Amino acid sequence: MSKKTTNSKKKQVEGGVLPKIELLFIFIFFLVFITWAMSKCGSVQEEYAQESSNDSALVETTKVSEKETEAKKELAAKPVETTKATSKAIVKIEKRTVLYVLLDGLKVRKGHHLDSSVVKTLKLNDEVYFLGETTDFKQKINLGDRVAFEPWVKVRAYTGHEGWVYGAGVHYFKPKVVVDTLGQ
């Protein structure tokens, strides 16, 4: 009987070495994978940081006066000779959120209240650019056909005028024109 116990002990010892090597290989593979994944995450974070710094630079460059805009239009109309040294142009794409005017005669105001002076009057379906600011409060205003309870929104008109409009007067989608064919 003693021979059987010693043989079984040898088998346990021999069988125990192989799982230890497998576990070692799995552990090494896991470490390599974690190292690779962390390096990928670091490079993606660097790309995001670069994009966000480019976006903030674009926001600063969008604040252009009307005179500079007119000067750019005049320069664009004239033919320009380019050389190889200046042939590489940097094109910056500006991301803007477009809103459509829902109320004919919507007023763009200097401040976010009805007593503020009017900067521009907009027509139905005009496009304006959302400047990323809304008021923290909502105001109840009678629009004739309904009473709205909305915040004020800061926008830039296509003419370059900036100011505040009542939130119920603009929307992300262009309104569909409904034609009444029954009344004809």
The domain that holds 165 is classified in CATH as: 2.30.30.40
Structure tokens at 11: 């088998």
The range of the structural domain enclosing residue 138 comes to 97-171
Give the pLDDT confidence score for residue 171 in this predicted structure: 84
pLDDT tens, residue order, the chain (184 aa):
555 555 555 555 555 667 888 888 899 999 999 998 888 888 777 777 777 766 655 555 444 444 455 555 554 444 444 444 445 556 555 567 889 988 888 899 999 888 999 999 999 888 899 988 899 999 998 888 888 899 999 999 988 899 999 988 888 877 776 665 665 5
> Burial code of 24-36, b = ≥16 C-beta within 10 A, e = fewer?
eeeeeeeeeeeee
**Residue 149 domain flag:** yes
Supply the pLDDT for residue 3. Answer: 52
Residue 144 lies in a domain: yes
Q: Which pairs count as long-range contacts for 142-150, CB under 8 Å and 24+ apart, including other chains?
A: 143/103, 143/168
How many domains would you assign to the chain? 1
- Tracing tokens 């002076």 back to the chain, one arrives at 117
Q: Determine, yes or no, domain membership for 159.
A: yes
At residue 45, the pLDDT reads: 79
Query: Does residue 151 belong to any structural domain of this protein?
Result: yes
- Model-wide pTM > 0.85: no
Q: What pLDDT, on the 0 to 100 scale, is given for residue 4?
A: 54
Domain assignment of residue 146, yes or no: yes
Phi first, then psi: what are they for 154, rounded to 5°?
A: -90, 130
Q: What is the pLDDT of residue 21?
A: 86
Helix, coil or strand: residue 174: coil
Residue 32 belongs to some domain of the structure = no
Q: Both tokens of residue 19?
A: 């799982």
Domain-located, residue 123: yes
Q: Is residue 35 part of a domain?
A: no
